[in-house]
Structure 1
Amino acid sequence: MYKPIYIFIGFRYFWNSHLTNFKKIITILSIIGVSIGTASIIITMSLSNGFQSEFKKNILSFIPHLIITNNSYYINESKFPKNILKLKNIQKVSGFISNKVLVQSKKNITIGEIITFKEENYNTFKTYNIKNYLYTLNSKEKNIILGKKLAEKLNVNINDSIKLIILPNNKKNFLKKKINAQLFKITGLFNTKNDIDSYQMLINTEIALNFLNYDKNYVTGWRVWLRDPFSFNINTFKIKKNNLIFLDWKKQQGEFFKAIQIEKYIMFLFFILILLIVGINIVITLTVNIIEKQNIIAILQTQGLCRKKIMLIFVTLGASTTIIGNFLGTLISFILIFQGKIINFLINTLFSNVSVPIKIFPIQTLIVNIVFTLISILSTLYPIWSITKSTPSKILSYE
């Protein structure tokens, strides 16, 4: 005797040697449908994760996720809001001095941004790969390290000199104030393969204080890096004290952020549509099976099998299709993801010279499989309930 009996019967209905070829084809097509849905969702989510990971690595690792300053961009270090250090999302905080300047070489002129460098804050600039040039940024010499693209734009190289020119902030005092211009020697170049290479320059903090006429204990503000820049709300950082203002990376990189948000919404819509298709597929398949077997259901009821166990027979039938489909879909998606050349080849057939980053999270894969299984089980309940609510005598009255 097989126990539990409803699982045994469910598996027999799912697949046995006596099934007609048509029923076998229907079962196989149902499994293929679930497999394609599962694989599509996992691959899409992995592509989205890959794009976010590349965005964090190539852009958000170089720019601060949050800048704390005031309206004049000139603030005493003692006014730093220490309460934000208690927030869990904070990774590191660094004071900085920054200003936009005109950069002039012998052959060209452009606009750049100077950022101060302190040796104790080297971790903030670790991704710049400038360790070999650090010793040149001392307080005695007017040395500077600038981005490679900026150097190409100015047509300069290491050991050349450039002139930095600060213009008055107030337009009314533009003609009254003397323009501050100083020569700096280029002692190094950084190449981060990021936009900052085209405008950013690093100089010593003490040199910057003198050049910008800053008092000793004053800074432009504080740069904040977060553990997860995508999941923070800027309102949690806002503190109504000392007239502070908070500038987040979403404003600086607005177009990129909008693209990521649109991608998430499309992926969510795609996920819902596939779930609906899978659910409808299972409902249709089970409804056909149940209508065909309603006489057998009535006979099982007359033999003492309760309504709950009859429902579990078809839950087993529907869940079997989804579980096998999920397993095959997950296996296919893993093969395609870990053999990234296959996906890149398929994409390059439509778009030339496009490299697609892929990153898979096991927890997301598990959630997708669980959701698909739950949807399949829920999809079986209505057709089973609608058949089993009829009495055996009514179903068998015309037999």
Structure 2
Amino acid sequence: MYKPISLFIAFRYLWNVRLPTFKKIITILSVIGISISTASLIIIISMMNGSEENFKKNILSFTPHLIITNESQYIKKSDFPKKILKLNNIEKISDFIRKEVIVKSKSNITTAEIIGIDSTNYYNVNNYNIKNILHVLQPGYCNIIIGDQLAKKLNVYIGDKIKLILLSYKNIFFSKKNLNPQIFKIISIFSTHNEVDYYQILMNKEDSLNFLNYSKNYITGWRVWLKNPFFLDVFQIKKIADKFVLLDWKTQKSELFKAIKIEKYIMLFLFLLILLVAILNIFIILNIYILDKKNDVAILKTQGLSFWKTMLIFIIFGSGTAIIGNMLGTMISITLILQNNFLKFFINIFFDDIDMKIVLIPSQVFLINFMFTLFAIFATFYSSWKTIQFKPAKILDNE
């Protein structure tokens, strides 16, 4: 006798060479459906992970995760709230100089943002891809580095000079007292393929202090870089620095952050739909098999098969389809992600010039498979419970 009997019978129902062609097709289609659902979900979530990585690299590498300042954006260095250093999510803190200015060249005029840098800003300035940037921007020479898109707008090149005009907001009228024009020389142009290329101007911190007429040991504020910017708790920091103004990256990039959140909610909704379709598929197939095999179930009961072993047959049968489909879908998705040239080629058919990064996280793959298998087992309980309601004498009455 085959043992365990429930497992043997379940596998016989799941697949054997004597199964009718129609039943084989149903089983194959159910496995394929779950495989496609699992593979598509893993690939979509991996693409979302890649989007988040690109967001962190291209946006959050230049945008401070948190800015600590006051209402006037003019603060003394010694006023720094040191208790913030005790927070676990803090990676780097540096003071900074920042101010919006009017930029005038021979052919055009626009607004921009000056950033004063020195050795304390080393964590951030590396992202501009300029060698020896701190050595190039020596204090006292009035040299600047601007973004390539800003240079195109102003129609200027390396070696050209532009005029920076500081506009005071204390008076809404333009007058010579409010303007502080100064000539600066462009010694380099950076290109980050980021939005900062359109408006940022880098200069030495001492030059920026002189240009802005800042007193010694006064700054605009502090830039805070986090280990994980998506887990920024502004309210926790606000308790520590309640006398300061906090500007987090979510506020500065609110529209983009909302778009990412909406995308996540859509993906969650899609996951629930895919899961629901897979569960309904298993539920329908299992009910068809139970109705088809009710005579066999009745005979097994008359032979002394217990209620829970009868249920176990169809639980194994239903969950076996899900497990096989999950394994197959997982292998397909991992293969496609590792050989991502095919996925990129397929994406570029519909969207031109998109460099989509795909990041596979093993814990997410495990969670998807676990959730599919768990809900598939739950989906078999009702149908399997119906089998123990069969009355063998009634079913076999006309046999």
Do 1:94 and 1:223's aligned partners in 2 also have CA atoms closer than 8 Å?
yes
Match of 2:245 in 1: 245
SS at match of 2:139: coil
Match of 2:215 in 1: 215
Match of 1:262 in 2: 262
Q: Which amino acid aligns with 1:38?
A: T
Do 1:133 and 1:188's aligned partners in 2 also have CA atoms closer than 8 Å?
no
Q: 1:353, CA displacement in angstroms?
A: 3.6
Match of 1:36 in 2: 36
CA distance in 2, matches of 1:329, 1:60: 34
CA distance in 2, matches of 1:357, 1:175: 51
Match of 2:229 in 1: 229
CA distance in 2, matches of 1:200, 1:72: 21
Q: Please give the TM-score of this superposition, normalised by the length of structure 1.
A: 0.94
Question: Structure 1 vs Structure 2: percent identity of aligned residues?
Answer: 53
SS at match of 2:8: helix
Match of 1:282 in 2: 282
CA distance in 1, matches of 2:157, 2:267: 46
Q: CA RMSD in A?
A: 2.0
Deviates more, 1:223-232 or 1:283-292: 223-232
CA distance in 2, matches of 1:132, 1:302: 86
Match of 1:100 in 2: 100
Q: How many residue pairs are counted as aligned between the two chains?
A: 399
Q: Which amino acid aligns with 2:260?
A: I
The verdict on how the C-alpha distance between 1:86 and 1:395 changes in structure 2, with shifts beyond 3 A counting, is farther
1:1-399 to 2 correspondences below 5 Å: 1-171=1-171, 174-175=174-175, 177-239=177-239, 241=241, 243-399=243-399
CA distance in 2, matches of 1:14, 1:363: 30
Deviates more, 1:25-34 or 1:224-233: 224-233
CA distance in 1, matches of 2:356, 2:176: 54
CA distance in 1, matches of 2:205, 2:348: 47
Listed as ranges, the gaps of 5+ residues in structure 2 are none
Do 1:76 and 1:217's aligned partners in 2 also have CA atoms closer than 8 Å?
yes
1:300-334 alpha-carbon deviations (Å, 9 max, x no partner): 23333222222111111112111111121112222
The verdict on how the C-alpha distance between 1:133 and 1:78 changes in structure 2, with shifts beyond 3 A counting, is closer
Do 1:116 and 1:203's aligned partners in 2 also have CA atoms closer than 8 Å?
yes
CA distance in 2, matches of 1:241, 1:61: 24
Q: Which amino acid aligns with 2:96?
A: F
Do 2:50 and 2:359's aligned partners in 1 also have CA atoms closer than 8 Å?
yes
Do 1:79 and 1:242's aligned partners in 2 also have CA atoms closer than 8 Å?
no
Q: 1:107, CA displacement in angstroms?
A: 2.4
SS at match of 2:115: strand
Do 2:163 and 2:182's aligned partners in 1 also have CA atoms closer than 8 Å?
yes
1:47-102 alpha-carbon deviations (Å, 9 max, x no partner): 21121111111111111111111111111222222222222222211110111111
CA distance in 1, matches of 2:377, 2:28: 18
Q: Please give the TM-score of this superposition, normalised by the length of structure 2.
A: 0.94
CA distance in 2, matches of 1:340, 1:219: 47
Q: Which amino acid aligns with 1:39?
A: A
CA distance in 1, matches of 2:10, 2:159: 80
Q: 1:348, CA displacement in angstroms?
A: 3.3
CA distance in 2, matches of 1:119, 1:68: 19
SS at match of 2:350: coil
1:212-255 alpha-carbon deviations (Å, 9 max, x no partner): 12122211111111222223232222136563111111222222
Deviates more, 1:22-31 or 1:225-234: 225-234
SS at match of 2:342: helix
Do 1:102 and 1:166's aligned partners in 2 also have CA atoms closer than 8 Å?
yes
Listed as ranges, the gaps of 5+ residues in structure 1 are none
1:357-396 alpha-carbon deviations (Å, 9 max, x no partner): 3222121111111111111111100011122134444444
Q: Which amino acid aligns with 1:370?
A: F
Do 1:105 and 1:156's aligned partners in 2 also have CA atoms closer than 8 Å?
yes
The verdict on how the C-alpha distance between 1:148 and 1:349 changes in structure 2, with shifts beyond 3 A counting, is closer
